[in-house]
Structures are given as C-alpha cells and as structure tokens.
Amino acid sequence: MYKKEMEISSSTAFPTIGIVLLGGISDQNRRIPMHDSAGIAYSDEKQSVRTVTSLYISDIREGYFNGNKITPNNSYRSPFRIIEKYESQIFEKLGIVQKNRFICFRSENHGILSGSSDSGAAALGKCIHSILGNDLNLEDFENDLRSVSESVGRSFYGGLTVTETDRKMAVTRTVADWNIFKDFTILGCPFPEPRKPSDTIHENIVKSNLYEERVKTAKDRVRKLESLIKDGKLDEIFEIAQEDTEDYHRMIESVGVKIINRDMRNFIEDIKASQKEFWSSYIVTGGTNVFVVCHNRNLEKVMDIAVGNAMKPLKLKISPGAKSMDNP
Ligand code: ADP
Ligand code: 3S4
C-alpha cells in the first residue's frame, strides 16, 4: 500500500579522513580516483557525528539537505542522479506502481569536520542497498555513488579501507575492522577559516611535475599499510599517514593550494615537538582541521596542547561502515 510521503528507507554513515590522501580525479562527473588511496571512517564515541539520510515517496520530485529544499538538477555531485538511476528498480522491488510518483530524499549532516560528501554518498547508497540488496553489484554501485563523492567507499565500508583504481573504475575494501583501533583516539581540531572545496585540490594537484611520482608513492604506501595490519603494527599506519600528509600538502602548496594556515602550522609544530615525549601522529585532509591520532592514555596531554592553542577539539574514534536503520 502506498501512503503519501511514505518513508521507504533510512540510513546512517560516518564521515572519513584520508590515511593515504587522494588528490586527482578523472572528471567532475564520475570522480574516479587517479591513484590508490586509503582512509578511515570516524565519529565521536556515541557515533553522533554522522550523516542521516532517508528516502521517501512523494508525488513531486524533491530533496532536503540539512533542512533546506534543493531543486532536482543534473549538476555534478547531485544525489538525484543516483536516485533516478535506481528509481524503477526500487519501485518494482517494493511492489509500488511508479506512475506520477518519485523517490525523494532528506539528508542531515551532524557535527562533521570534513569528509561529509563521503558519508552523504554512503548514507544514500545504504538506503538504496537496504532495498535492493543482492540485486546490486556492489563494485558497480560504489562507482555510481562515486559521482557524489570520490571516496564514498571509505564511509560505505568503514574501518580502515583501501581504494584501488585503474582510472576506469575504483574499488574499496576494508583492510582493518574499526574495532581493532579501540586503543586510539583522534583529536579533531577545527580552525575557523572556511575550507576550500576538494575540487580545488583535485584540479590543481595533477599540474605538479611530481604527480606521477605521487601516484607511485601512494600505491606503495597502500601496500605497506596492508602488511602493517598483518603484522599488527597499528602505530606505523598513522606514522605513514603523517608522512603522507606532509608530502601531500607540500605538493598542493607547490601548485598554489594552501590549506595549512599559520595557526594550523603553529599547532602542528607543537604536536611535533611533543612527539619527542610521547607517540602521536597528525593528519590534515582538504579541510581546515588538524586530526591528531594518539593512544587513549595520552589523550589529556594532546588535549592540553590543543586547548593551549585556543582550540575546541572533538574526541573521535574510528567507526564502522554505513548502517541501515531498517534492517541493521
Ligand atoms: P567534504 O570534505 O566535507 O567531503 P567536499 O568539498 O569534498 O568536502 O564536499 C562537499 C560537498 O559534498 C557538498 O558541496 C555536497 O555536494 C556534498 N555533500 C555533503 N554532505 C552531503 C550529504 N549529506 N548528501 C549528499 N551530498 C553531500
Ligand atoms: C582532499 O576525497 P577532504 C581529500 O584523501 C579528498 O581525504 C578525499 O579530503 C583528501 O576534502 C583525502 O574530504 O577533506
């Protein structure tokens, strides 16, 4: 039976941070990564930092994003494109006559520092997956969701994931479950300056003469991560992440994209000085945030450095993949 504005699925997904950072995509529509990368899904302890998305049926095509109505259009990164592709299949699966009815969406981001496009794409994907299940080829589906976010797989699958690409298609798999990282906390430190869109990075990084070298380094680092997991060397994963952050930002700065501002740099220098006393690692992705990974036992020490730099940090944990609220 069809009821007006009937909700058909609801999902939650967590934002992500790169471990081997991604820079460079095939084009703005398909957003296929130009090189291998790795990342983690994150949230706070209560998993309240997240995207929540629901799909419902209505007699007009509409969508709401953080409470604001968005118009259906075919512009790039539009959730409507994905919904339209799977709409008939969904109606058929639900046994509802499609005529003059549309699948609409409502999506809310909660407390996300960066990586919202990943959780946005993954939550939408999980809504569709919870209805279509095994009718979907997950590799093809990930590549459809990629039109909203190039690193959607990180959020869809959760934990520590790697994404491998042949520049025609990219496939993500979890290489370490989220709960093996329980001894680590990530202190997310946001800085007030607004972020640049990730496309600014993607468009410019490929102009570097050293880009093809970067492609090789990223692939080697992704391979290394997998062997570190096998050997249980979890600290070293985040040491690679810091090394990768440093290479990445050096490279994007060389092509005119500066993310790490003076205040962020001062804070990073304080963190690096403290690394002589106790273990930590830092990561900066495309947003104006510094993520400091530490052992739980040293959290207060990192917190003191952050508060000393006038930060209002958020305690974060590595998180699982996207979850359906209908059939968890
Ligand atoms: P971020 O690091 O937050 O992913 P980006 O610049 O890569 O930053 O992506 C921002 C874009 O992600 C937004 O302009 C929007 O197109 C998309 N996005 C963010 N949240 C959602 C959501 N909940 N559902 C769908 N798309 C989203
Ligand atoms: C620039 O798709 P962000 C980057 O690997 C894009 O996390 C990822 O980060 C780098 O814009 C990365 O999502 O913060």
CA distance 291 to 311: 12
pLDDT in the model for residue 139: 98
Q: What architecture is the 181-314 domain classified under in CATH?
A: 2-Layer Sandwich (3.30)
Q: In which residue ranges of the chain is CATH 3.30.70.890 found?
A: 181-314
CA distance 72 to 244: 38
Atom in ligand 1 nearest the alpha carbon of residue 118: 4
Give the number of other CB atoms < 10 A from CB of residue 193.
12
Residues of the chain with pLDDT under 50: none
Q: Return the residue matching tokens 């995207």.
A: 51
Examine the predicted complex and report whether its ipTM is higher than 0.95: yes
Fold of 5-179: Ribosomal Protein S5; domain 2 (3.30.230)
Q: Give the torsion sign (CA, 291, 293, 294, 296).
A: positive
Residue-wise pLDDT for 118-145, tens only, equals: 999 999 999 999 999 999 999 999 999 9
pLDDT in the model for residue 234: 98
Residue-wise pLDDT for 199-257, tens only, equals: 999 999 999 999 999 999 999 999 999 999 999 999 999 999 999 999 999 999 999 99
CA distance 151 to 157: 11
Q: Any residues with CB less than 8 A from the CB of 27 and at least 6 apart, and which?
A: none
Q: 15 C-alpha vs ligand 1 centroid, how far in Å?
A: 10
CA distance 165 to 143: 11
| pTM of structure | 0.97
Q: Counting ligands in written order, which one lies closest to the CA of residue 68?
A: 1
Q: In which residue ranges of the chain is CATH 3.30.230.10 found?
A: 5-179
Atom in ligand 2 nearest the alpha carbon of residue 20: 5
| Cβ-contact 258, 195 below 8 angstroms | no
State the DSSP string of 188-239.
EEE-SSPPPPHHHHHHHHTTSTTHHHHHHHHHHHHHHHHHHHHTT-HHHHHH
Give the number of other CB atoms < 10 A from CB of residue 143.
19
Continuous H helices in the chain = 79-94, 116-132, 138-145, 152-157, 198-205, 211-230, 234-254, 262-274, 299-308
Closest CA to 291 of 14, 12, 19: 19
pLDDT in the model for residue 310: 87
pLDDT in the model for residue 309: 87
| Cβ-contact 11, 53 below 8 angstroms | yes
Closest CA to 325 of 129, 154, 157, 110: 129
Ligand 1 touching residue 117 (CB < 6 A): yes
Where does ligand 2 bind, in terms of residues with CB under 6 Å? 17-18, 21-22, 37, 39, 114-115, 150-151, 198, 201, 285-287
